[in-house]
Structure 1
Amino acid sequence: MSINGQTAVHERPIPPLDALPRPLYARSESLARAERTRMHHHPWVQLSYAIRGVLHVHTPGESFVAPPQRAVWIPAQMEHEVFSFANTEMRSLYLDATLFGAPHDHCRVIEITPLTHELIKQFCTLETEYDEQGEAGRLSLVLVDQLRRAREVSMSLPLPQDPRALQLCRQLQDTPDDARTLAEWGCQLGASEKTLRRILLRETGLSFRIWRQRLRLLGSIEELGRGVRVTQVALNFGYQSTSAYIAAFREHFGVTPGDFFSG
């Protein structure tokens, strides 16, 4: 599967790790090209965070997008795949699941405050087997405490399970500027417009119009992060005008596209 239509995505091997060397473990990676880790799971929590670049995380039921001020929280045993674009600076955290309770058992996007950002950067410079009783151990406790209190933000896109509706959604993920109506999609998929509308609402909680708009807005973030002009981004994601895109963006995220990365 591509990211917003990109096909040249390199398969990145999953790190061989049988057990965490410490309850909190970090990995730093500089990714020069677009990368993908295939669907997998592990017995610890993962925080996928990019200090530069935009991440996409897919689970069997949802897609998540995280620009630098956000990170994707992936609970233990959750099947997931991670996509990153070229020139991404990754800072991944792996956490013993016993550090967190039931409120942290679902995949979500969380806010990374300036303090948490600096804590993650500093923690990633430590030795793998750091002294848990010393300064490094105290730093890890502060970081874990900040992650426990992190605010969840709306950066996810639910996916249906019905094969016809899922095919529609997957195709739109690859070609978000596709302007076909739900009736036209129904003709291709062998289902009536009414049936597709009912399935999407039941399985995603969103109407087709709202689902497609959220897809386009979330997908557009990566291009904004690369410095693509707002006018071009609007066209790439199926908006008839720049003003329509900006208005939809502000309504969903509370800021304009130009201000999004300045927070």
Structure 2
Amino acid sequence: MTPDIAITTYKKFMPKLTETLPTDVFCHYFFIEAKTETLPHSHSWGQLHLIKQGVLEMEVDQQKMVCPANYTIWTPPYQKHRAFNRSDIEYCAINITAELSEKFPKHACMIPLTPLLRAIIDDLIERKTTMVSSEEDKCLSYVLMDRLVKINPIEIYLPSTQDKLLAPILTQLEETPEDDSSLSVWAKRVFSTERTLARRFQKELKMSFNDWRQRAKLVKAMTLLKESISINEIAYQLGYSQGSSFIKMFRKHTGVTPEQFRKQNETSTVMDN
């Protein structure tokens, strides 16, 4: 959430912005140190955000996304966004003109990277391609964009709010995802009523309390899957009494099991090294 980023950030980074791209597809690369906040900004082109390893946290219009290395975050033209990384990352942005961006989703989302897409991106990165101007690179970029727009995106958003009743609840749910207290219990903790909180969740976050909590668990799970701990232990840390319930939830939202997600991420890391 926004307050957390401000507290944990040591460094600030603002990309150099221009009014237009030199080519229809343009790539740039940065090494970003741990605990760096990329300050809020927007531009007239769309952008694919990629990292080689670790996890990238991004906020788009006050909605939080957590992206591991085998996914890309898409932000449409003119959509304000900012990012935060807890560890050192090698970051790549593939910038796409507004005209070509029309084929992509109209809202920010996460898109899983297939082996083919990963191979194309790796080739561009290894050659440090910036301006996509040669016929070979144009063909690669067209294949990349054509395949990306055909993949079902994953909308793993954690909307945030400064609402005085909801903000402390959201912070606590992120810090202790194993807490399965009901909304009525939370209402007593913040000296409110269950009905009032339910209305606030729908008004401020456009989703129910249970939906937001499940998304928070999913975001935390994606981070924990980077660590060398068992699926059952992750389920326990997230408040599930059985690993099967956690696996069912994860597969419902991502289309893969936690173990498949972990293997995909390990494969991506091996390919990058």
Give TM-score, length-normalised by structure 1. 0.81
Alignment-mate amino acid for residue 94 of structure 2: L
Please tell me the residue identity of whatever aligns with 1:38.
L
The Cα offsets for residues 93-145 of structure 1, whole Å up to 9 and x where unpaired, read as: 12222212275321111122221111112223244345x25323333333333
Greater CA drift, 215-224 or 190-199: 190-199
- Residue aligning to 2:96: 95
Is the 8 Å Cα contact of residues 11 and 38 (structure 1) preserved in structure 2? Answer: no
Change (3 A) 1:29 1:222: farther
Cα distance, 1:70 vs structure 2: 1.8
Q: Is the 8 A contact 1:179 1:238 kept in 2?
A: yes
| 1:38-67 Cα deviation digits (max 9, x unpaired) | 322222212112232222221234222322
Q: Does 1:15 align with 2:15?
A: yes
1:169 aligns with 2:192: no
Query: Which SS does the other structure have where 1:52 is aligned?
Result: coil
Residues 55 and 262 (structure 1 numbering): CA distance in 2 closer, same or farther, change over 3 Å? Answer: same
Structure-to-structure mapping, 1:1-263, within 5 angstroms: 8-19=8-19, 20-31=21-32, 33-101=34-102, 104-124=105-125, 125-130=127-132, 132-159=133-160, 162-240=163-241, 242-263=243-264
Aligned residue for 2:14, secondary structure, equals: coil
Using the TM superposition, give the Cα deviation of residue 73 of structure 1 relative to its aligned residue in structure 2, in angstroms.
0.6
Return the letter of the residue paired with 1:164: L
Which SS does the other structure have where 1:152 is aligned?
coil
Letter in 2 for 1:116: L
TM-score using structure 2 length = 0.79
- Kept in 2, the 8 Å contact 1:176–1:237? The answer is yes
Gaps (5+ residues) in structure 1?
none
Counterpart AA for 1:13: F
- The whole-number CA distance in structure 2 between the counterparts of 1:40 and 1:5 is 16
63-72 or 224-233: which moved more? 224-233
| Cα distance in 1 between the residues matched to 2:12 and 2:152 | 30
Q: Distance in 2 between matches of 1:256 and 1:5?
A: 29
Per-residue displacement from partner, 1:194-252 (whole Å, max 9, x unpaired)? Answer: 11113324554533223212211222211211333434433443344545434433444
Cα-Cα RMSD? 3.2
Please say which of residues 15-24 and 108-117 is displaced more in the overlay: 15-24
Preserved CA contact (<8 Å) 2:5 2:84: no
Distance 2:229 2:34 in 1: 18
SS at match of 1:77: coil
Identical amino acids, percent of aligned pairs: 28
Which residue type is aligned with residue 79 of structure 1?
A: K
